[in-house]
Amino acid sequence: MLIDLESSFKNLKSSLSQLYIVGAPRSERFAKVRHRVPMLSLANSFSREDVADFESRIRSFLGLGMGEIVMLTAEPKIDGLSLSLRYERGGLVQAATRGDGEEGEDVTVNARTIADIPHRLTGDVPAVFEVRGEAYLGHADFAALNARQREAGDKEFANPRNAAAGSLRQLDAAITASRPLRFFAYAWGDVERLPDDTQFGIVQAFKAWGLPVNPLMTRCASVDELLAHYARIEAMRASLGYDIDGVVYKVDRIDWQQRLGFVGRAPRWATAHKFPAEKATTLVEAIDIQVGRTGALTPVAKLRPVTVGGVVVSNATLHNADEIARLDVRIGDTVVVQRAGDVIPQVVEVVMAQRPASAGPYAFPHACPCDLHTPVVKETTAAGIESVVRRCTGEFACPYQRIEHLKHFCSRRAFDIEGLGDKQIAFFFEKGLIREPGDIFTLAKRDAAPGNLQRIQNYEGFGETSTANLFAAIEARRTIQLERLIFALGIRHVGETTAKMLARNYGTWAVFDAAAMRVAAGDAESAAEMDAIDQIGETVIEAIRSYFAEDHNRAIVDRLAAQLTIIDAEQAAKDSPVAGKTVVFTGSLEKMTRDEAKAMAERLGAKVAGSVSKKTDLVVAGPGAGSKLKAASDLGIEVIDEDGWLRLVAP
Ligand code: IVH
């Protein structure tokens, strides 16, 4: 079977061979640190409207009247890397990078060499206080570092952020010490208590304790004031001496921040207002088609390399066939590309005046570029709307999809296997050593099998040590959290948040797997049960249904699960009185908005349902409650009012 696949992938082989520069797997260089409070990211705003929406969402969530002032802080968004510094009794005890937000790397020794970071805080500092902020490299220091790199014949850094990251993640702290990293404190993690009840006041306390804080942080009482401060910072951008990529707005009142909470990985109480993307002009040398994990065909413009905002860009996404048609991009065209932050560079416009006479319209392929030449289809949604995405119908027969699936499986938020990056996956796939996720966990055993004539350590780019490191990294992930496993399966529409919700709800792999199988078999009750989980609706259920109904997928999942030790999900907020309960809010609420009530219940581990059924545990009824209240009493379900709810969940 493998040999068959091999011979049918000849083309793939040649295109993959460009990827054969197989680097030694990253080694476990730094100890891991679990963040006691996760390090989160920020939602972005790109326009005045986005900022106004952000402010009005806060008002509506908190149920504030127009007369009420929402004080917000505004400060530069530093383009460096975030760092968490743990102080105990005023002394620096640990420094950790962000990592995936849950787990970072212990860089204490290196952080101690940064002059901006005090080893001891002074004044009335709480016994435990984690300060969070950004480590960065100034423009002048960046230029000097690159000059030294050049002289020494070492590789130059593309931009200050990469240089800062490279400098901090040095095994030899003397190297970090020789690079003048700087630091701004702007947030906190695990703390014994807060020194003030406002964002601004806390940052002032940081300053009093001896931490460096950004001088451009201010308080604003309206959207107009935010935008005025944004304009001021933008005007100063070039002369600041360090990279910033926007302005961060945060709700000043900490009690409001707490009520607002989070959506996914980002706080509802903050947003990053990004500066407009940087642009450059270059030539389209080719248009390639990339096949994603779900078979979506994405056209990519291969560009003559050009520097956009300090980064060399040689690929830009063209999104889909409609976008190519809209822009009328042709091979040979000169185009304007833009890059905003970490977002993939995009082609925004064709410079028509420079189009060569020979450039003909681009014809989007009707078959997958893989050797199977599987037909490409346009999907139609349930509502009959034709999607702009063209998809290869090959699924697991399509080698591109299999490789993308494996890449997703090994990615940071999924199995996070060190040393099994994109290049290595493509390499092992092409060698026939890893064809599906389960193969990863049998790799070492097959490699060591008597009679194996081609050991991995003998391939170029590998060696005894890096192979041993790779096997150790794989072994370390054989034990995996349920939510990561569900996410890693690569079910369409099941992202990290959905995977977490599923894991928390079903608790164990066996329970989830059984439920998924019942859903796949068309069991309506199991589907309804899944539907009752917050943030899970028909789209996700349909995706789970079709994934698990496919025998091929089923077999792959079984072979994988047989290799793993799966850690049960942490039942959310186990000790709360409403954990695991299904709650229905009805009637009007007076002390909080419906959104806030829902978010609060979910934070405490409850499920919030829209209608009363025999699965409902508790109904919170305000004035004006009607049919749901009646249904509750018919079914004998406990009913309380808003005050009763607040008493129940009071800390
Ligand atoms: S606040 C819960 N403030 O931006 C919110 N972040 O895109 C915590 N960043 O990971 C972040 N300057 O590394 C905040 N003034 C600032 C920032 C800032 C830069 C970074 C930070 C974060 C990322 C989110």
Residue-wise pLDDT for 212-237, tens only, equals 999 999 999 999 999 999 999 999 99
Q: Whose CA is nearest to atom 10 of ligand 1?
A: 41
**Which amino acid makes up residue 123?**
G
* pLDDT of amino acid 592: 86
Tell me the average pLDDT across 15-33.
50
The mean pLDDT of 242-247, rounded to a whole number, is 94
Is residue 82 scored above 60 in pLDDT? Answer: yes
pLDDT tens for residues 323-351?
Answer: 999 999 999 999 999 987 667 899 999 99
Strand partners, 291: 297
Q: How far is the CA of 82 from the centre of ligand 1 (A)?
A: 7
Nearest Cα to 460, choosing from 26, 27, 20, 25?
A: 20
Helices (H), 507-593: 509-520, 524-531, 538-549, 551-561
Centroid of chain to Cα 46: 19
Residue 399 CA to residue 435 CA, distance in Å, equals: 9
Name the residue among 21, 34, 569, 41 with its Cα closest to residue 270: 41
Q: Is 481 in the pocket of ligand 1 (CB under 6 A)?
A: no
Q: What is the pTM of this model?
A: 0.70
Q: Give the pLDDT of residue 3.
A: 38
Q: Residue 16: is its pLDDT beyond 50?
A: no
Interacting residues of 444 by C-beta distance below 8 A, sequence separation 6+: 471, 474, 475
Pocket residue to mutate for ligand 1, from 35, 54, 78, most atoms within 8 A of Cβ: 78
With bands split at pLDDT 50, 70 and 90, how would you rate the model's confidence at 594? confident
- Nearest residue by C-alpha to atom 23 in ligand 1: 41
**Is there a contact between 158 and 137 (Cβ–Cβ < 8 Å)?**
no
User: Given pLDDT bands bounded at 50, 70 and 90, which one contains residue 382?
Assistant: low
- Report residue 293 as tokens: 């994990």
What's the CA-to-centroid distance between 29 and ligand 1, angstroms? Answer: 25
pLDDT for 11 beyond 60: no
Q: What are phi and psi of 151, to 5 degrees?
A: -60, -40
> Residue 587 above 80 pLDDT?
yes
pLDDT of 27 > 50? The answer is no
How many Å apart are CA 114 and CA 180, to the nearest integer? 7
3-state secondary structure of 269: coil
CA–centroid distance, residue 577 to ligand 1 (Å): 34
pLDDT in tens, 514-540: 999 999 999 999 999 899 887 788 999
Decide: 264 and 375 in contact? Cβ < 8 Å. no
Q: Where are the domains of the chain?
A: 43-274, 279-354, 396-477, 481-567, 582-649
273 CA to centre of ligand 1 in angstroms: 11
Q: Which of 27-31, 529-533, 559-563 has the lowest mean pLDDT?
A: 27-31
Q: Ligand 1 within 6 A of 616 CB?
A: no
Q: Which CATH number fits domain 43-274: 1.10.287.130, 3.10.310.40, 3.30.470.30, 3.40.50.720?
A: 3.30.470.30
The pLDDT of residue 396 is above 80: no
Q: Provide the pLDDT confidence category of residue 30 given band limits of 50, 70 and 90.
A: confident
Task: Judge whether residue 507 has pLDDT over 60.
Answer: yes
Architecture of the structural domain at 481-567: Orthogonal Bundle (1.10)
453 — pLDDT class (breaks 50, 70, 90): confident
Upper half-sphere CA count for residue 545 (Cβ side, 13 Å)? 16
Quick check: helix, strand or coil at residue 74? Answer: strand
Residue 28 has pLDDT above 60, yes or no: no
* Nearest of 356, 376, 354, 381 to residue 365 by alpha carbon: 376
- pLDDT of 164-198, one tens digit each? 998 998 888 888 888 999 999 999 999 999 999 99
- Which residue from 515, 493, 520 is spatially nearest to 503, judged by alpha carbons? 515
Fold of 582-649: Rossmann fold (3.40.50)
For the domain spanning 396-477, the CATH number is 1.10.150.20
Q: How far is the CA of 41 from the centre of ligand 1 (A)?
A: 6
- The predicted model gives 546-553 an average pLDDT of 90
**Greatest distance between any 2 Cα atoms in the chain:** 82
Q: Same CATH fold, 481-567 and 279-354?
A: no
Q: Which atom of ligand 1 is nearest to the CA of 266?
A: 2
Average pLDDT of the segment spanning 85-100:
96
The span from the CA of 51 to the CA of 227, in Å, is 8
**End-to-end alpha carbon distance in the chain:** 60
Q: Which CATH number fits domain 279-354: 3.90.1150.10, 3.30.499.10, 3.40.50.300, 2.40.50.140?
A: 2.40.50.140
Tokens of 554: 């089923």
Instruction: Tell me, using a 6 A CB cutoff, whether residue 289 lines ligand 1.
Output: no
The confidence band for 14, taking pLDDT boundaries of 50, 70 and 90, is very low
- Catalytic residue numbers read 77
User: Is residue 573 very low, low, confident or very high in pLDDT (cuts 50, 70, 90)?
Assistant: low
For the CA of 98, the closest atom of ligand 1 is 10
Q: How far apart are CA 266 and CA 604, in angstroms?
A: 18
123 — pLDDT class (breaks 50, 70, 90):
very high
Q: Is the pLDDT of residue 430 over 90?
A: yes
Per-residue confidence (pLDDT) for residue 145, from 0 to 100: 93
3-state secondary structure 26-64: CCCCCCEEECCCCCCCCEEECCHHHHHHHHHHHHHHHCC
pLDDT averaged over the chain?
89
> Is residue 17 over pLDDT 70?
no
